[in-house]
Structure 1
Amino acid sequence: MPENPTILVTGSTDGIGLETVRLLGAGDATIIAHARTREEGEEAHRRLVSSGVDARRLQPVVADFTDLRQVAEMAAAVAQAFPRLDVLVNNAGVAGTGDRVLTRDGNEETFQVNYLAPYLLTRLLEDRLGASTVSRVVNVSSSLHRGGRINWNDLNGKRRYNRGAAYAQSKLALTMLTTALTELRPKVREAVSVHPGIVTTGMLRHYSYRGRPVVEGAEVVARLADPGAKVLAGAYYDGRLPARASAAAVDAEAVAKLWKLSERLTLVERHRG
């Protein structure tokens, strides 16, 4: 385990993200805490410090994931400030909108926030992850990925949009990213996906009636994000235990196809420049 590890947690202003930062902040890690807006980040910072997290170990970053330019700018800021990134936790996500919404980049909002933005962020931080002996990506997925499918001919739901289907598609794509990082990107040494359980967050009302306390889901994520913890690279975790991901999530041909499509949709090489 590296001394004084650096961990980036996206979507850290509430829910599982906030509690994950609080749990990881109890150790000696520097936590890069992502917020959608500066105001939300400042409020989360106050809550974390008041709960006992050392303010000197919290580094705020801001990006609205509905704007890929902001994602790229955030990645550049992280890369400039930190020579090494030990763990990236792709936690930020949305439940989906009732009606179809396109981002300024032209993508359906749920697909961009839950998948394309994490994809771009991960790709742009590959070198910093590669500088770590841990080099781990934790993708916060959902068991609902099992019911998802990548609608190759209508990713944005122009012909037929459904909130639940859009969410399931985005989480399937994020789980496929774990497979891609494991098989296609040697700079990332370990990648895992995790369903943290059904917990009481803002998304609960859209997909379930009852959930467990948020901290229980955060404990699952924090354990996988702990640089000192051993994980099964490429695995999908259902809570604390490895489980079988959907067949689509590990389909080599589909994973490679999505990877190439994601490169085009995010303009990743242009953002590198």
Structure 2
Amino acid sequence: MPENPTVLITGTTDGIGYETVRLLATGDTTVITHARTREEGEEACRRLVASGVDAGRLQPVVADFADLRQVAEMAAAVAQAFPRLDVLVNNAGVAGTGNRTITKDGHEETFQVNYLAPYLLTRLLEDRLDASPVSRVVNVSSSLHRGGRINWADLNWKRRYNRGAAYAQSKLALTMFTTALTEFRPKVREAVSVHPGIVATGMLQHYSYRGRPVAEGAEVVARLADPGAKVLAGGYYDGRLPAKAAAAAVDPDAVQKLWKVSEKLTLVEQRRG
């Protein structure tokens, strides 16, 4: 485990992200806490400090994932402030809207927030991850990815938009991204995806009327995000245990196709400059 490890967690104002920060911001670990707005981030940090977290362990950053320009600006700010990033936890996500919503970037909102934004953030932080002996990405996925499919002909759901299908597609894409990071990107040494369980968060509507306490889901994510923990690189975890991901998530042709599409949709190469 590196000295003074640095972990970036997205979506930390509530739910699993917030509780994961509480579990990891101990000892000499610095946690970069992401929020959609500065006000939400400051409020979350106040609550964390009030709960006993050392304020010196927290480094807030801001970006609305419905705006890829803000994602790129946040990545640049992190890269400037931190020479090394040990673990990146792509946790931020939305349950989706009842009516199809298009972002200012021209993408269906669920697909952008849950997949394209974390894709772009990860790619723009590759060099900082490469500087770490851990170099791990943890993608908070969902068991619902197994019922999803990539709607190649209509990624933005112009026809027959369905909230549940859009959510499942976004989580399948994120799980495929885990495979891509393991297979195609040597700068990221370890990538895992995880279904943290059916937890009482804003995502619960996709699963059930009841969920386990948020702290239980956060414990699962925090264990994988612990720089000192060993993980199954490329693995998909259902709770604490490795499980079998959807066939599409490990299909080399589909994974590579999604990678190339994602590069175009996020303009990642242009944003590097």
Category of TM-score, reference length = shorter chain: over 0.9
How many equivalent pairs are there?
273
- Corresponding residue number in structure 1 for 2:45: 45
Q: Does 1:225 align with 2:225?
A: yes
What percentage of residue pairs aligned between the two structures are identical? 86
Can you give the 5+ residue segments of structure 2 that lack an aligned partner in the other structure? none
- Specify the alignment match of 2:121 in structure 1: 121
- Indicate the residue corresponding to 2:157 in structure 1: 157
Partners in 1 of 2:206 and 2:177 — Cα distance? 24
Pairwise CA RMSD = 0.6
Match of 1:67 in 2: 67
**Structure 2 counterpart of 1:23:** 23
TM-score by length of 1: 0.99
Task: Report how far residue 101 of structure 1 moved.
Answer: 0.3
Check the 8 A contact 2:142/2:194 in 1, yes or no.
yes
Secondary structure at the counterpart of residue 166 of structure 1: helix
Q: Secondary structure at the match of 2:153?
A: coil
Aligned match of 2:105: 105
Q: Aligned letter for 1:260?
A: K
Q: Deviations over 1:201-259 (max 9, x none)?
A: 12213431110000000000000000000000000000000000000000000000000
1:57 alignment counterpart: 57
> 1:76 is matched with which residue?
76
Work out the CA distance in 2 between the residues paired with 1:265 and 1:201: 29
Q: Secondary structure at the match of 1:47?
A: helix
- Give 1:15 shift: 0.1
CA distance in 1, matches of 2:27, 2:99: 42
Q: Which residue of structure 2 aligns with residue 186 of structure 1? A: 186
- Look up the SS of the partner of 2:139 in the other structure: strand
| Cα distance in 1 between the residues matched to 2:178 and 2:203 | 23
Q: Distance in 2 between matches of 1:215 and 1:145?
A: 22
What's the offset of the Cα at 1:116?
0.1
2:236 corresponding residue in structure 1: 236
Instruction: Give 2:71's aligned amino acid.
Output: V
Task: Look up the match of 2:250.
Answer: 250
In structure 2, distance between residues paired with 1:27 and 1:199: 27
1:26 is displaced (CA, Å) by 2.4
Gaps in structure 1 of 5+ consecutive residues = none
Paired residue type of 2:201: T
Q: Deviations over 1:60-115 (max 9, x none)?
A: 00000000000000000000000000000000000011000000000000000000
TM-score by length of 2: 0.99
Residue 5 of structure 1: aligned partner: 5
Tell me which amino acid in the other structure corresponds to 2:255: V
* Aligned-residue offset at 1:33: 0.1
Structure 1: distance between partners of 2:264 and 2:25 = 36
Secondary structure at the residue paired with 1:33?
Answer: strand
1:202 is the counterpart of 2:184: no
- Alpha-carbon deviations, 1:139-191, whole Å to 9, x = none? 00000000000000000000110000000000000000000000000000000
Cα distance change of structure 1 residues 21 and 216 upon mapping to structure 2, 3 Å threshold: same
